Amino acid sequence: MKQIQEYEKDIASIRNMMERSSKFISLSGLSGVLSGIYALAGATVAYFTIHYPISPVHFRQYSLQTPEALSKLVLIATLVLAASITTGLWLSHKKAKKHGEKLWNSTSKSLVFNMAVPLVSGGIFILIMLYTGHFGLAAPACLIFYGLALIQASVNTVDEVRYLGFSEIILGLISASVPGYGLIFWTIGFGVLHIIYGGIMYNKYDK
């Protein structure tokens, strides 16, 4: 009986080592929550910059057709992205250090590459759409390509990232069917969903 228990412990230990070698477990759930908060703040600034005083539930696609408005939105999105990446790297570094692991290893390299392909191609595609005047599909495209990137990255990290990716894609497809309400769907996808899934990951893996 004692030998069986020892074998079970050995098997569990081996399984844990294999999972650590193939999964990027230093991803911080708190960074997801903070990224969601940054997105909500960015969406608020975007609303007062583009929509105010008209309600965001009204169709306002025409308001995006000026170079000034587009430049402001791109700047806001860039600042939100930069803050999210910086926070994610910092918190992941702290978590990796706490567990005696390296942040930049073969698994994290694979994760970055898997995410980069849909993110970079999606970013270029969105810029082309903005340049050619397809403003109403920019926000849905952001959500869809981001969802694809998360699904790609989920191979190298926790399962919740995959579920978040599917949620982003579904939300993006819904947004594409009702163009002109991109700010609302963008806020839900990058703000609310990040906070929800980040909170789940924090409670499950960070505590």
For the chain, give every domain's residue range: 26-206
Residue 53: is the preceding peptide bond cis (ω within 30°)?
A: yes
**pTM above 0.85?**
no
Determine whether 72 is exposed, middle or buried from the number of CB atoms within 10 Å of its CB (0-12, 13-18, 19+): middle
pLDDT per residue rounded down to tens, the chain (207 residues): 545 555 445 444 444 444 444 454 567 888 899 999 999 999 999 888 877 667 666 655 555 656 677 788 888 989 998 999 899 888 888 877 776 777 777 777 888 888 899 999 999 999 898 888 787 788 899 999 999 999 998 888 888 899 999 999 999 999 999 877 888 899 999 999 999 999 998 888 776
